[in-house]
Amino acid sequence: MSQGPTIDPAALLAEAHAAREQAYAPYSRFRVGAALLCRDGSVVRGCNVENVSYGLSVCAERTAIGNAVVSGQRDFVAIAVATADPSGTPPCGMCRQVLYEFAPELVVIMETQEGSEQISAAELLPKGFGPEDLAPGQE
Ligand code: THU
């Protein structure tokens, strides 16, 4: 596996803010954008997409993952998440699980008053349930 691209947190957050412009959040009015850095250096965007049946709403992090997978990417290096809150927004529990599936070492970048902070998907989901835990043949 190649080492991958250098992470530029400010640039990735800028992409996440651009993605946030597309957010569809008429119910919560809480618009979220995400920018997912892939091993090949490409950046895939996501935004939250809500639904009138509220529970069907999808977070920005998960639309970014789905958007990347459908374009052939599965090897992820970092994800930045942007909201209107200058002190940052951490990924929800469901998104933590989805990020962990593809990359426990994924660097999650959240905005802070000072700039940004980084934490891995595995740190966000301690003792996470991953693909290797689903042993075949167990019932
Ligand atoms: N949301 C995200 O898209 N990502 C997060 O990290 C936190 C929450 C969305 C879900 C919903 O559309 C809105 O923000 C309010 O919860």
Give the chain's mean pLDDT. Answer: 96
Q: Rounded CA gap, 7 and 111, in Å?
A: 15
Note if the pTM is more than 0.85.
Answer: yes
Query: Is residue 92 pLDDT above 70, yes or no?
Result: yes
Distance from Cα 133 to the centre of ligand 1, integer Å: 28
Q: Rounded CA gap, 115 and 96, in Å?
A: 22
| Pairing between β-strand 43-47 and β-strand 76-82 as defined by DSSP bridges | unpaired
Q: Rounded CA gap, 120 and 10, in Å?
A: 17
Q: Rounded CA gap, 5 and 95, in Å?
A: 23
Which amino acid appears at position 60 of this protein?
A
Q: What's residue 3's pLDDT? A: 80
Ligand 1, CB within 6 Å, residue ranges: 25, 28, 30, 32, 48, 50, 57, 59-61, 81, 89, 91-92, 95
Q: Which atom of ligand 1 is nearest to the CA of 81?
A: 6
Distance from Cα 97 to the centre of ligand 1, integer Å: 15
Confidence class for position 109, pLDDT limits 50, 70, 90 = very high
Contact 116, 10 (CB under 8 A): yes
Chain centroid offset of residue 117 CA: 14
Residue nearest to atom 9 of ligand 1 (CA): 59
